[in-house]
Chain A
Amino acid sequence: MATQENNDDRIALLQGTLDLLILKTLVLGPCHGQGVARSIQHQSEELFLVDHGSLYVALQRLEDKKWISGKWGVSENNRKARFYSLTPRGREQLVEKTGEWRRLARAMALILDSGTGLKGEEA
């Protein structure tokens, strides 16, 4: 029970990020969940370890919000899979969220970079 609660905390923290990453991934075209996970992992140079369970819950959440739509289809290696694609609404959200994230990142950077001597390490 206790571990699950910690999980919940983490999801809550990462929620915005994960949603944004999913939307960004789908901009390239329809993709199934496993593909999305691989893509995120790959593109972040394996820095992000995507919790698959959370990913599927997030996909469902986005679908419920009608930002993406899901449809069963067949993968390139002939497996049944649920393919997600971006809706127009999702596209708007992507633009908006990207802007938000940029502003957030910039603000974070401003604070973290302000002369505490840790600059070198991160760079």
Chain B
Amino acid sequence: MFRRKRSADDFRAEIEAHLALEADDLKREGLSEDEAHWKARREFGNVRAAQERFYMRGRWIGLDKLLRDLRFGLRSLGQSPGFAATAILTLALGIGANTAVFSVMNAVLLRSLPVEHPDRLVYLRTSDQPRGTGTIDTTETFSYAVYDALRQPGRGLSPVMAYVPLSSTKVAVRYGAQPEEAEGDMVSGTFFSGLGVNLPLGRGFSEQDEKDHAPIAVISYNYWTRRFARSPQVMGTTLYVNAVPMTIVGVAAEGFEGVEPGGSTDFWIPLQDRRELNAWGNPPDEGKLYMAHSTWWCLRMIGRLAPGVTRTQALAELQPVFQTAAYVGLSGSPQQGEKPAVLSLADAKSFPGYDQQYGNPLRMLMAMVGLVLLIALANVAMLLTARNATRQREFSLRLALGAGRGELFLQLLVESSILVTAGGALAWGFAELATRLLGQWAQIESSLAPDSTVLLLTLAVLVVAALLFSLAPLRVALAGGAELALKTSAATSNADAGKSRTGRIVVALQMTMCVVLLVGAGLLVRTLRNLENTPLGLRVDGLVVFGVKPSVPSIPQGVAFYVNLMNKLRVLPGVESVTIMEERLGSWWSDNSDMVVDGRLPDVANGASRTVRSNVAGPDFFRTLGVPVLAGRDFADSDTAASPHVGIVNEQFAQRFLPNVNPLGHTIGPYNVPYTMTIVGVVKDHKYRSIDEEPIPMAWYMYAQIPYLGPMHVEMRVHGEPLAILPAARKAVQQLDPNLPLIRPMTQRAQFDTTISHQILFARLAGFFGFLAVVLVATGLYGTLAYRVSMRTAEIGVRMAVGARREQVVWMILKDSLLLTAAGVAMGVPLAMLVGHALTSSLYGVRPLDAVTYLLAVVGVAAVALAASAVPAGRAASVDPMKALRTE
């Protein structure tokens, strides 16, 4: 009863049995053996029809036909495995690259924050922060005084939320016995409720928590998973943040990783007011923490528009409040000639900071892979057309026998679907891998996994591809019409296909896209070369850098610690010199402010900026870095708190603020702070924040003389392999304080390279996609040409039979592809110029119209075209006229 459906063989056996039984009966009725068999069969009627009907019973006929088409398609693809593999691989690369880049773009630029009504959220931004303020970011950060004024109820935003990291990198945490690092933010009490973040476990913060500076923490879902294996037992336990105990009270919704630009936050605590937990991990500035420090603009803010309030209305209500609060602790209003600070509100729908960082490169990559996809699709379409053109007679015959166009289309659709499905599956796997790699290289921490949007786009591409691949060959297949079946000679029946104008146009367009891609990739690769070879202005080889974060109960004790440390490190074998600095070179960080020269803000010519970048340095600073001192001297051990305050400036500083005078001996100091120092040295300009920056005026303070001391970075110049010194250095540090780790130890070269890691990544990817495009175009061109030559074999045979020489035949074929190349280049170069123009902001040291790049791209395309034509041309020339004519 429950066995599987009866097989057709079983049914046939039954019919055979019937025929035998019938014959037996007929014999019994007196017929001869032969007659009986014959009659039994005749009476049965059409055996085959019965079998067919048995087969068809209970089936959906359309599906059956589809299965048959499918099997036929598989068989016919199986007969040309080279073609199938090329097509599938081409598709997988083209579609996979698109899926990968799109899923990164989707995750980074298009996806909304996982909060309630993200479209009602706004970031608060400002222009022109008041003079005399210290900032983290010139447009995105605000003072606590501003936050406190804006968050008062009834001002259009309800609520206004402030958030600030506990450290510029990671903050020391301890859970149980193990000290580790994590990314933590201090946030408003309204943070979770205002954003509308769900807490699957526990609770968020309240305004009371903020007021009380409650020692509680909410951890991110990701951190909960990564660090605590999603144990619910974590609730109520203690997380020590910079040794301050915090009770874990909640876990934030999955996917919510804070609103820090480009980062993912591991835990949040309410805004605190204690030394150990100052904003950005800074030590108190003149004894003041961030809450009391109205000129330190260090908080980021995000707000939710109150119900029924538009952005314009909210801004109108907030602006006057902001403009008063902005000058608290300053003169109360903008100084003469100073532009007032203006508040603005920016979209906070998507993930913060990514657009800035990755927006342009990603859009550019998307455009590149889009072109690669077009080339890939065109390739496969052409390959399919070529392949199916050879089946033109088959199609014609079927048309002649009464097959409908619909049926032919269905069969082609099935065949193309097989290719597309295989290619798509491969592409998905490829994309998953590529996405993971991309995320790793670009150091994007939020989840990049392809989601349903990505899947939908990929499916859409696949469907379009499948349709394209069945329609393109259908045109050729139908072009012959039913009467083609009657023509007998290949010379007549295939000549049209061999000269297909569409094919030529497609090849030329592919060349165009290839030129564009090559120029784009070329410009980016040259940019990378330039960046890598940029002189830094310092002898970077042999330098190793690491951070130390000692506890500094008082400034003299801190200075003593660093003096001790440097003395210990200097005597290590292989060490040439040692110094310390506050901001690590090549880490994107810089301290920017206005500076007073000889008691007043300097006049600057031509409206140049007055901003000075400053750093705090130790003795032997420039000698250790290998930066030439042009005039005066380096910092020395003899510069102490008791000796006169000294400072050093760079060439830019001297040229801009002290033109045409000897800068040595002039006094300078930060604006609005009672500290002055005498310039004792001028050093050569060098790279400071990153590799691709232009030099700007700089000044260095001597660390032992300023009223401020915190964590520092140690720079060592050593002989031999720089990293080999680290174990000895670690031992030296731990002799002073056994609890101190070396923070992010690396070579100075590696540190600088991090500032161009995005350019490196995108240039490599662009180079890869350019290369991919070339390979695809080459295979496409080769396939098309080879096919066209084979179509023209008879024609070539005739030509040679009537006296054409080999060279003439070769030239005939080559001329064809050269013409196509010329057309492609003619279209590609202007397009590439547009692309180059769009890339301008991503380029370094190379103009968007760089002639060498264009020349290389054109030569590259031409070389590919020639290489792809050489084989078919050679084959054409070796055609034996007699054989060619006899193939018919």
Bitwise interface map of A from 69 to 81 toward B, beta carbon under 8 Å scored 1, else 0: 1000001010111
From A34, A64, A69, contact of B22 by CB (8 A) = A34
Task: For chain B, residues 67 to 117, give those with C-beta under 8 angstroms from any C-beta of chain A.
Answer: none
Asked if B45 is at the interface (CB within 8 A of a chain A CB), the reply is yes
- Which of A4, A35, A52, A77 is packed against the most chain B CB atoms within 10 Å? A52
Q: Write out the residue numbers on chain A whose beta carbons fall within 8 Å of the beta carbon of B53.
A: 53-54, 57
B47 touches A53 (CB 8 A): yes
Contacts of A52 in B (CB 8 A): 18, 43-45, 50
Instruction: Establish whether residues A32 and B21, one from each chain, have CB atoms under 8 Å apart when the complex forms.
Output: yes
Is B761 interfacial (CB-CB < 8 Å)?
no
Closest to A69 in B: B1
Interface size class of B (residues with CB under 8 A): 20 to 34
Residue B226 is within 8 A (CB to CB) of chain A in the complex: no
**A49 CA to B21 CA, complexed, in Å:** 17
In the assembled complex, the Cα of A53 lies from the Cα of B45 at a distance in Å of 7
Instruction: Pick from B1, B18, B46, B49: contact of A33, CB below 8 A.
Output: B18
Query: When the two chains form their complex, are residues A80 and B57 in contact, meaning their CB atoms are under 8 A apart?
Result: no
Residue A96, interface by CB 8 Å: no
Complex contacts, B49 vs chain A, CB 8 Å = 4, 7, 53
**B57 and A79 contacting across the interface, CB-CB below 8 Å:** no
Residues of B within 8 Å of A53, CB to CB, are 44-47, 49-50, 53
Q: How large is the interface on A (under 10, 10 to 19, 20 to 34, 35 or more residues)?
A: 20 to 34
Residues of chain B contacted by A57 (CB below 8 angstroms) = 50, 53-54, 57
Q: In this assembly, does A48 line the interface, its C-beta being within 8 Å of a C-beta of chain B?
A: no
**In the assembled complex, B180 has its CB within 8 A of some CB on chain A:** no
Query: How far is it, in angstroms, between the C-alpha of A103 and the C-alpha of B598 when the chains are bound?
Result: 121
Whether B6 sits at the interface, judged by CB under 8 Å, is yes
B21 interface neighbour in A34, A66, A69, Cβ under 8 Å: A34
Task: Write out the residue numbers on chain B whose beta carbons fall within 8 Å of the beta carbon of A60.
Answer: 6, 11, 54, 57
Shortest CB-to-CB span from A5 to chain B, Å, is 11
Does A92 have its Cβ within 8 Å of any Cβ on chain B? no
The B interface, classified by DSSP as helix, strand, loop or mixed, is: helix
Cβ contact within 8 Å between B20 and A79: yes
Of the candidates B6, B22, B50, B57, the one having the most CB atoms from chain A within 10 angstroms of its own CB is B50
Is A61 a contact of B57 with CB atoms below 8 Å? yes
Given that A64-B57, A79-B24 are contacting pairs, would A54 and B17 also be in contact in the complex, using a CB cutoff of 8 Å? no
Task: Please tell me which one of the listed residues A33, A35, A66 contacts residue B14 in the complex, with CB atoms under 8 A apart.
Answer: A33
- A2 smallest CB distance to B (angstroms): 12
User: Are B1 and A64 neighbours in the complex by a CB distance under 8 Å?
Assistant: no
Count of inter-chain pairs, beta carbons less than 8 A: 67
B17 and A81 form a contact (CB under 8 A): yes
- In the complex, which residues of chain A have a beta carbon less than 8 angstroms from the beta carbon of B57? 57, 60-61, 64
Interface of A is mostly: helix
Q: How far is the CA of A69 from the CA of B1 in the complex (A)?
A: 8
Contacts of A63 in B (CB 8 A): 6
- Shortest CB-to-CB span from A87 to chain B, Å, is 9
- The answer to whether the Cβ of A56 comes within 8 Å of any Cβ in the partner chain is yes
Contacts of B674 in A (CB 8 A): none
Q: How far is the CA of A37 from the CA of B45 in the complex (A)?
A: 13
Cα separation A64 to B22 with both chains bound (whole Å): 25
Question: Does the CB pair B50–A38 fall under 8 Å?
Answer: no
- The answer to whether the Cβ of B15 comes within 8 Å of any Cβ in the partner chain is yes
> Considering only CB atoms, which chain A residue lies closest to B25 in the complex?
A38
Q: A53-B45, A57-B53 are in contact. Are A82 and B14 (CB under 8 A)?
A: yes
Q: Does A51 contact B (CB under 8 A)?
A: yes
Closest to B24 in A: A77
* B727 sits at the interface (CB 8 A): no
Which residue on B lies nearest to A41, using beta carbons?
B43
Interface assignment of B553: CB less than 8 Å from any CB of chain A: no
CB distance from A82 to the nearest CB of B (A): 5
Nearest Cβ distance between residue B816 and chain A, in whole angstroms? 46
Do A32 and B17 form a contact, CB below 8 Å, given A56-B54, A57-B50, A57-B53?
A: yes
B53 and chain A: residue at smallest CB distance: A57
Chain A residues whose CB sits within 8 angstroms of the CB of B43 once the complex forms: 52
Q: What's the Cα separation between A32 and B18 when bound, in Å?
A: 8
**Considering the chains assembled together, what is the distance between the CA atoms of A38 and B23 in angstroms?**
12
Q: Whole-angstrom distance between the alpha carbons of A112 and B554 in the complex?
A: 121
Instruction: Using known A-B contacts A34-B25, A60-B57, determine if residue A54 contacts B20 with beta carbons closer than 8 Å.
Output: no
Within the complex, which residue of A51, A61, A69, A82 is in contact with B17, where a contact is CB–CB below 8 Å?
Answer: A82
Complex alpha-carbon distance, A82 and B58, angstroms: 21
- Chain A residues with CB under 8 A of B44: 52-53
User: When chains A and B are docked, how far (Å) is the Cα of A54 from the Cα of B15?
Assistant: 11
- C-alpha spacing A38/B28, complex, angstroms: 14
Does B17 lie within 8 Å of A56, measured CB to CB?
Answer: no
The proximity string for A residues 4-48 relative to B, scoring 1 for CB distances below 8 Å and 0 otherwise, is 100100000000000000000000000011110110000000000
Closest to B21 in A: A34
B21 contact set on A, CB distance < 8 A:
32, 34-35, 75, 77, 79, 81
Whole-angstrom CA separation of A52 from B43 in the bound complex: 7
B54 partner residues in chain A, CB cutoff 8 A: 56-57, 60
Contacts of A51 in B (CB 8 A): 45
In the complex formed, the residue of A with least CB distance to B46 is A53
Q: Which chain B positions have C-beta within 8 A of A35?
A: 21
Most A CB within 10 A of own CB, among B6, B14, B22, B25: B14
Please tell me if the beta carbons of B45 and A64 are within 8 angstroms of each other in the complex. Answer: no
* B24-41 vs A, Cβ < 8 Å mask (1 yes, 0 no): 110000000000000000
Q: Is the CB of A56 within 8 A of B18?
A: yes
B11: chain A residues at CB < 8 Å are 56, 60
Docked CA distance A66–B3 (Å): 12
Residues in chain A near residue B6, CB distance under 8 A: 60, 63
Given the complex of chains A and B, what is the CA–CA distance between A82 and B13 in angstroms? 9
Report how far A37 CA is from B18 CA in the complex, Å: 10
Complex Cα gap A61–B57 (Å): 8
Considering the complex, give the chain A residue whose CB is closest to the CB of B15. A56
Considering the chains assembled together, what is the distance between the CA atoms of A14 and B15 in angstroms?
Answer: 21
Report B-chain residues with C-beta under 8 Å of the C-beta of A34.
Answer: 17-18, 21-22, 25
Chain A min CB distance to B771 (Å): 55
Residue of B nearest to A1 (CB): B402
Proximity string of chain B (52-64) to chain A, C-beta cutoff 8 Å, 1 when within and 0 when not:
0110011000000
Give A53 to B49 CA distance when docked, in angstroms.
7
In the bound complex, what is the Cα–Cα distance between A46 and B18 (angstroms)?
19
Instruction: Please state if A56 and B22 are interface contacts (CB–CB under 8 Å).
Output: no
With A52-B50, A56-B11 as known contacts, state yes or no: A80 contacts B17, CB within 8 Å: yes
**Measured between C-beta atoms, what is the minimum distance from A71 to chain B in Å?**
11
**Contact residues in B for A54 (Cβ distance below 8 Å):** 50, 53
B667 to chain A, nearest CB (A): 104
Query: What is the CA–CA distance of A79 and B27 in the complex, to the nearest angstrom?
Result: 14
Residue of B nearest to A52 (CB): B44
B13 contacts across to A, CB distance below 8 A: 80
In the assembled complex, how far is the CB of residue A77 from the closest CB belonging to chain B, in whole angstroms? 6
What are 5 pairs between A and B in contact, CB < 8 Å?
A: A7-B46, A34-B18, A57-B53, A60-B54, A64-B58
Q: Closest 9 A-B residue pairs measured CB to CB? A: A53-B50, A34-B21, A52-B44, A34-B18, A57-B53, A82-B14, A81-B17, A53-B45, A33-B18
